[in-house]
């Protein structure tokens, strides 16, 4: 069982700007591949565990539901699945340990952990095994940080780095 992070961040470590917008990400029409190895990655996981803010951002994109895997949304405030997303998501709340126990009890082992606060909570519990960060060469100055204060230092080993038209993707594995 492994927990993975696959995310884009600005050069200064933000995953959204101060207004929680993502318009600083390159437009796919610019022929820049933000999803280096994404098809292989998504095929390697069993389910996605995302935070409510990330879920709201995904919903704002419109169009078809983008995930081919089961999605669990972590929220202490959402009490029921919005009608449009019934059958597409399941709501979870509680501690990270309880969330993992519930998802694992359903048979899902390799999880894609998404959303800034959600990722930070998993890191605080030392429950992230691999991190794949696609770094966009822009400085936002402030916004939603990818990382926050941790109770203990966590060491990772960089196992690969790729560059595609100025976009850098680094793959880190937890050093235990």
DSSP state of 27: P
In the numeric block, the tokens 């060491």 are attached to 155
- C-alpha span between 31 and 49 (Å, rounded): 29
pLDDT tens digit string along 63-120? 888 899 999 999 989 889 888 889 999 999 999 999 999 999 999 999 999 999 999 9
* CA nearest to 33, candidates 102, 134, 113, 106: 134
**How remote is the C-alpha of 111 from its chain's centroid?**
10
- Is 20 in contact with 57 (CB distance < 8 Å)? yes
Which domain CATH number covers 35?
Answer: 3.40.430.10
- Please enumerate in sequence order all residues whose Cβ is within 8 A of that of 175, keeping only pairs 6 or more positions apart, or say none: 155, 156, 157
Two structure tokens written together for 48: 């996605």
Q: What are phi and psi of 101, to 5 degrees?
A: -60, -40
Q: How many domains does the chain have?
A: 1
Entry pTM: 0.92
- Is 73 in contact with 89 (CB distance < 8 Å)? yes
Full residue range of the structural domain in which residue 114 is found = 3-174
* CA nearest to 154, candidates 123, 108, 114: 123
pLDDT tens digit string along 3-59? 999 999 999 999 999 998 898 988 655 555 555 678 889 999 999 999 999 999 888
């Amino acid at each position: 069982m492994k927990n993975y992070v696959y995310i884009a961040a600005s050069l200064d470590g933000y995953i959204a700007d101060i207004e929680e917008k993502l318009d600083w990400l390159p437009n796919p029409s610019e022929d820049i591949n933000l999803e280096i190895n994404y098809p292989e990655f998504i095929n390697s996981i069993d389910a996605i565990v995302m935070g409510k803010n990330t879920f709201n951002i995904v919903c704002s994109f419109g169009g078809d539901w983008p995930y081919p895997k089961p999605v669990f949304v972590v929220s202490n405030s959402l009490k029921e699945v919005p009608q449009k997303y019934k059958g597409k998501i399941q709501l979870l709340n509680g501690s990270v340990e309880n969330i993992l126990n519930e998802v694992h009890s359903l048979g899902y082992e390799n999880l894609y952990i998404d959303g800034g606060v959600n990722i930070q909570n998993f890191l605080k519990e030392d429950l992230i095994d691999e991190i794949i960060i696609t770094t966009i060469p822009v400085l936002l100055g402030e916004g939603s940080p990818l990382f926050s204060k941790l109770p203990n230092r966590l060491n990772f080993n960089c196992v690969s780095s790729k560059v595609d038209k100025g976009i850098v993707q680094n793959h880190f594995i937890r050093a235990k």
